Structure 1
Amino acid sequence: MSNVNTVVFTIVLVLFAIVTVVGFTAGRWRRAENMLHLNEWGLAGRGFGTFITWFLLGGDLYTAYTFIAVPALVFGSGSIGFFAVSYTIMAYPIAFIFLPRLWSVCRVHNWVTPGDFIRGRYGSRGLALAMAFTGILALMPYIALQLVGIQSVLTVMGVNASSTNTYVKDLPLFVAFVVLAIYTMVSGLRAPAAIAFIKDTLIYVFVLVAVFYIPTRLGGWGHIFGNAQTHFASISPATKKPLGTFIPTTKSTGSTQFDFATLALGSAIALFLYPHIITGTLASKRRSMIKRNMSLLPAYSVLLGLIALFGYMAVADPVTAANVKKAGNAQLAVPYLFQHMFPSWFTGIAFAGIIIGALVPAAIMAIAAANLFTRNIFKEFFKPDASPALETRMSQWASLVIKFGALVFAVELPHTFSINLQLLGGVWILQVAPMLVGGLYTRWFHRWALLAGWLAGMIYGTLAAYNVKNATTSHWASSSDIVFGHTVYIGFTAVIINAVIAVILTLVLRAAKAPEGTDETLPHHYTADPEQAPAPTPASVGAGVDG
């Protein structure tokens, strides 16, 4: 560690220590008499107001994917990286429509996970298992991406950079993982909710400073954009094609506009299907707070657009570009840019913001995945009579195992473009859209048809993503593929296949009068706004009606 900047390292260490203390003490925040209940550990008593929910969902949505992977994609490929801005603009109106309905029906029935809703809506353990499996699978690379974000900052800081042993080199990452795992087990959802205040403050500070300050060091925005346009028009010696696109075009770039559109739309639909987003939503106190936050959260989209511009700044800075090229890793673009452009003390603040920005969503994701495992796998198939205390303990330990699995993802898998980790998760989580979003509005789909459509979408999406290659990577090179002469987001194609199969098989199964399962919901459950979560009334059991 002889090449580590002492000032940067000290500031990062101090801020990390502060966050750790907050994480451990957060369990006392609005503490219930009995914390050994998933409503308390996993949903913080379902008592968050508008202000806390805004920070929690903001910390949940804007992750290391935002600060590291999006600018890295812009740095490496140009305008396609701005799909993230487009999809967050589309995502909030979509979520405004269906998330309040999901909150209401889950509150009425005291459901903790989206798998609980699927089980109650369709009367199908198999479909709930598919939801749980998909949610956990999709979150693994997403959690890994947060650890990759921490890893990229530590690499640029030079922490153990000289070590040739992988595990010694990644020791600081292991330490951060252990601390995150322990305070998540102790404090549950209250920990990331409390830390989100610190995280968002740091993020807004260093992003706004960077947007105004760095252009003054690089000759202004005109020079930055001109340099980026020239750079991406250059021909790659390896592919014999332009390095990227400054403006999306259909000429000589594999129909980039269609790729951009399907990637943005598919990601917008997928965003609020992730279990960690649903967990943050279900922790809200009132239905109206969900709608209010879906109206306020687009403020973060402005921030995301500014963060994406860091990729163009890195292209325009010769020192940053040379460092990234030498490292052969585009995800280091933002850390190298900040290291070169800012004094050490501010670089430390920015690096700490990125690390904390990874810890908050990683904690929520692990809690959400653990709750899915406990409620829809462990309790459903292994211990139906599990007490609330046993459920909570199982979730606590499951969250630890899930973080360890994500750590293996982060350390072992190649991730030159780490954004592909998140996009792969998006391909998978999109496949629950017909059963989850569809189920909020209609009971028309047959449970077996939905299961068949889900399986087809998962198989196609996984195989298609696995078979995508480029000049440097033999598999998992991208989340887009060529379909009928157009470059299309694989998740978008897979969910269309999924939905078509579900529709066709529903018609067949309904004609054959196959058993449809029991619906535990009533229409008014989807618009209810209860203060607390009452048990379902006897009349709601077996209702079998549309919501």
Structure 2
Amino acid sequence: MTSAAGTKVDGVALAVLLFFFVIVTAGGFLAAKWRRPESMHSLDEWGLGGRGFGTIVTWFLLGGDLYTAYTFVAVPAAMFATGAVSGFFAVPYTIVVYPLIFVFMPRLWSVAHRRGYVTPADFVRGRYDSRGLALAVAVTGLLATMPYIALQLVGIQAVLDTLGLGGTGNWFVKDLPLFIAFAVLAAYTYSSGLRAPALIAFVKDTLIYLVIVVAIIYVGVKIGFGTMFDAAEKKMTTKSPKTGLATGVFVPNSNNYWAYSSLAFGSALALFMYPHSMTAVLSGKSRNVIRRNAAILPVYSLMLGLLALLGFAAIAAKTSVVGADGKPNAQLAVPHFFADSFPSWFAGIAFAAIAIGALVPAAIMSIAAANLFTRNIYREFLKPDATPHQEAAVSKVVSLVVKFGALVFVLSLDKQNAINFQLLGGVWILQTIVAIVAGLYTRWLHRWALLAGWAAGMLYGTLAAYHQKSAATAHFGGSLATFPWTHTKVYIGFSALLINVVVAVVLTVLMRAVKAPSGTDATEPEDYYSDPESEQISGADGDAVSSSERTHPT
């Protein structure tokens, strides 16, 4: 079978992909009847799945949410193109993040459950009594989420290109499959809410584990790990005839330590600040569900480490990354590796894992973005007396707008722009961590100082990212920049966060000195330990504590 662009279409792989797409589509619509409440017309039910997911469902949901199609494509692509610094940092940061989550996410879950908070901006609004600070957190979440949704399309586009549906043919062949996929996604998300990606995540995660295990066995038997690493080292250390510089970094040296470590640590801090991560966490039925998931989610990090190695395997297999349009594209390394090295039917399974891996997080992201708009813009500023039914109706419509906005974004702009804006989104979302996480433990930081710190971090991070150049773009070309007053390159988001903290602390001292009004805290001491599964209130270490031992974060 041949596409309109003249490229041969792999009919078997396409048939397998369509088979799994039909399965997840049916599952998405059936999810509306899964644990169906009396009414879906509230954000608690539509946007958070009734706050009733147990350990297993939450594990699949978080895994499907955090390890996206773009992860499947981009991490090995970075390893293929430039090596460890830009690719393998994702593995340690997903290991570092879970102990952090174990500590503070149960507290956020408890206060959100007790107070009915749906978004992190809801918590900031109640904790600091600041509409401005809550709006800043909400807008930052929306800005950071939009390019993240768009990047899921990049993963699907890589699959379509490999199948022979890309290239320079007419838009009907190139873009119609994306429109169909997102139209179906929009339909079942609209009807089923968060229950749809929660159910589909079972299929997505199972396929990914199957594909990774088979691929690693293939690499060990057919290529050999020694051969794979030798080939990768040779490519990374080979100097470009144009620039005279090495192609990439096989093993980071001392010049890369700060860049690598700050990128990993900053990304770890940012990961659960994204609205979609928060949404998945708040859908759990108890704080212990969150703790258990913080303990078992590192299994995905093992999968991610094996996935990253596929970038080196593609080098050893001499995989071509030239797309159907005739241009080289490192994002095609893994799809082309599967197409070249495996039978068409198994390549189809791999492509299905990537495509479904785009639909799950895209659904959760659009729901999270819609919840932010509804709760922290629509109800806060436009209709303060909105009913739960009206909130749910607005969120459903906004979720549609967000999905198709991301679709237009990625189809109208170059892929590199989508990638650059997602990198910038990571810098932005990191600036919300001070208000959210510090607020779980102390209210010492003043609300006006937090807002000023957020603004300073956003301004520095945006300007520093704007001035980064790459071979593909003159602006927003990377995540690393020279740390102020030094010659050391570090992650821009980490530098911006330090500026954020310094400004917030210094201004808080000034605000306290002049006795500026700090607002009223809407939370209570018990809120931070609340758990409906237990008759007792659990402390942060999991042991029961008496009321006399509970202390209010001050």
- The alignment status of 1:513 with 2:515, answered yes or no, reads yes
Q: Amino acid of the residue matched to residue 264 of structure 2?
A: A
Match in the other structure for 1:158: 164
Q: Which runs of 4+ in 1 moved over 6 A?
A: 322-325
1:73–1:419 Cα contact (<8 Å) kept: no
> Aligned pair in 2 of structure 1 residues 73, 58: CA closer, same or farther (>3 Å)?
same
User: Structure 1 residue 286: deviation in Å?
Assistant: 1.0
CA shift digits 1:280-301 (9 cap, x unpaired): 1111111111101100100000
Match in the other structure for 2:231: 227
- The alignment status of 1:479 with 2:473, answered yes or no, reads no
Out of 477-486 and 46-55, give the one that drifted further.
477-486
Out of 273-282 and 522-531, give the one that drifted further.
522-531
Match in the other structure for 2:494: 492
2:526–2:552 Cα contact (<8 Å) kept: no
- The alignment status of 1:217 with 2:219, answered yes or no, reads no
CA shift digits 1:299-334 (9 cap, x unpaired): 000000000001101111224356699532111111
Q: Residues of 2 paired with 1:350 and 1:496: CA distance? A: 41
1:338–1:347 Cα contact (<8 Å) kept: yes
User: Structure 1 residue 237: deviation in Å?
Assistant: 3.0
Structure 2, unpaired ranges of 5+: 535-550
Q: What aligned pairs does 1:343-354 form with structure 2 within 5 A after superposition?
A: 343-354=343-354
Match in the other structure for 1:444: 444
Q: Amino acid of the residue matched to residue 446 of structure 1?
A: H
Match in the other structure for 2:39: 34
2:166–2:324 Cα contact (<8 Å) kept: no
User: Structure 1 residue 420: deviation in Å?
Assistant: 4.2
Q: What aligned pairs does 1:219-368 form with structure 2 within 5 A after superposition?
A: 220-250=224-254, 255-320=255-320, 327-368=327-368
User: Structure 1 residue 141: deviation in Å?
Assistant: 1.1
Q: Residues of 2 paired with 1:325 and 1:314: CA distance? A: 20
| Counterpart secondary structure, 2:490 | strand
Residue 84 of structure 2: which of 79, 87, 92 is its match?
79
> Aligned pair in 2 of structure 1 residues 370, 333: CA closer, same or farther (>3 Å)?
same
Q: TM-score, normalised by structure 2?
A: 0.93
CA shift digits 1:66-88 (9 cap, x unpaired): 20011111111101111000100
Match in the other structure for 1:541: none
User: Structure 1 residue 482: deviation in Å?
Assistant: 1.9
User: Structure 1 residue 145: deviation in Å?
Assistant: 1.1
| Counterpart secondary structure, 1:30 | coil
Q: Residues of 2 paired with 1:137 and 1:463: CA distance? A: 16
CA shift digits 1:130-158 (9 cap, x unpaired): 01001111111111111111111111111
- The alignment status of 1:169 with 2:174, answered yes or no, reads yes
User: Structure 1 residue 106: deviation in Å?
Assistant: 0.5
Match in the other structure for 1:501: 503
Q: Residues of 2 paired with 1:239 and 1:530: CA distance? A: 62
1:275–1:369 Cα contact (<8 Å) kept: yes
Q: Amino acid of the residue matched to residue 451 of structure 1?
A: L
Q: Amino acid of the residue matched to residue 460 of structure 2?
A: Y
2:84–2:250 Cα contact (<8 Å) kept: yes
Q: Residues of 2 paired with 1:467 and 1:411: CA distance? A: 25
CA shift digits 1:322-357 (9 cap, x unpaired): 669953211111101100000000000100010001
Residue 137 of structure 1: which of 143, 155, 159 is its match?
143
User: Structure 1 residue 419: deviation in Å?
Assistant: 5.3
> Aligned pair in 2 of structure 1 residues 247, 35: CA closer, same or farther (>3 Å)?
same
| Counterpart secondary structure, 2:432 | helix
1:215–1:221 Cα contact (<8 Å) kept: yes
> Aligned pair in 2 of structure 1 residues 407, 10: CA closer, same or farther (>3 Å)?
same
Q: Residues of 1 paired with 2:123 and 2:408: CA distance? A: 31
User: Structure 1 residue 171: deviation in Å?
Assistant: 1.6
Q: Residues of 2 paired with 1:325 and 1:209: CA distance? A: 30
Q: Residues of 1 paired with 2:238 and 2:452: CA distance? A: 46
Q: TM-score, normalised by structure 1?
A: 0.94
Q: Residues of 2 paired with 1:414 and 1:326: CA distance? A: 15
Residue 11 of structure 1: which of 5, 10, 16 is its match?
16
- The alignment status of 1:394 with 2:394, answered yes or no, reads yes
> Aligned pair in 2 of structure 1 residues 74, 417: CA closer, same or farther (>3 Å)?
farther
1:144–1:410 Cα contact (<8 Å) kept: yes
Residue 113 of structure 1: which of 112, 119, 124 is its match?
119
Q: Residues of 2 paired with 1:288 and 1:70: CA distance? A: 31
Q: Residues of 2 paired with 1:520 and 1:160: CA distance? A: 53
Q: Amino acid of the residue matched to residue 69 of structure 1?
A: A
Q: Residues of 1 paired with 2:127 and 2:552: CA distance? A: 10
Cα RMSD after superposing both structures: 1.8
- The alignment status of 1:546 with 2:553, answered yes or no, reads yes
Match in the other structure for 2:470: 470
| Counterpart secondary structure, 1:98 | helix
User: Structure 1 residue 531: deviation in Å?
Assistant: 5.0
Q: Residues of 2 paired with 1:45 and 1:321: CA distance? A: 44
Q: Amino acid of the residue matched to residue 109 of structure 2?
A: W
Match in the other structure for 1:460: 460
User: Structure 1 residue 466: deviation in Å?
Assistant: 1.6
> Aligned pair in 2 of structure 1 residues 416, 384: CA closer, same or farther (>3 Å)?
closer
| Counterpart secondary structure, 2:481 | strand
Q: Amino acid of the residue matched to residue 360 of structure 2?
A: V
User: Structure 1 residue 407: deviation in Å?
Assistant: 1.5
User: Structure 1 residue 406: deviation in Å?
Assistant: 1.5
> Aligned pair in 2 of structure 1 residues 413, 476: CA closer, same or farther (>3 Å)?
farther
Match in the other structure for 2:524: 522
> Aligned pair in 2 of structure 1 residues 61, 37: CA closer, same or farther (>3 Å)?
same
Q: Residues of 2 paired with 1:322 and 1:314: CA distance? A: 13
| Counterpart secondary structure, 1:384 | coil
User: Structure 1 residue 475: deviation in Å?
Assistant: 1.3
Out of 54-63 and 474-483, give the one that drifted further.
474-483
> Aligned pair in 2 of structure 1 residues 368, 23: CA closer, same or farther (>3 Å)?
same
1:465–1:479 Cα contact (<8 Å) kept: yes
Q: Amino acid of the residue matched to residue 101 of structure 1?
A: R
Structure 1, unpaired ranges of 5+: 533-543
Residue 202 of structure 2: which of 197, 207, 217 is its match?
197
User: Structure 1 residue 162: deviation in Å?
Assistant: 4.3
Q: Amino acid of the residue matched to residue 274 of structure 1?
A: Y
1:105–1:528 Cα contact (<8 Å) kept: yes
Q: Residues of 1 paired with 2:403 and 2:210: CA distance? A: 29
| Counterpart secondary structure, 1:320 | coil
| Counterpart secondary structure, 1:223 | helix
Out of 319-328 and 40-49, give the one that drifted further.
319-328
2:28–2:200 Cα contact (<8 Å) kept: yes
1:121–1:439 Cα contact (<8 Å) kept: yes
User: Structure 1 residue 545: deviation in Å?
Assistant: 6.2
User: Structure 1 residue 414: deviation in Å?
Assistant: 2.7
Kindly tell me the number of residue pairs found equivalent between the two proteins. Answer: 530
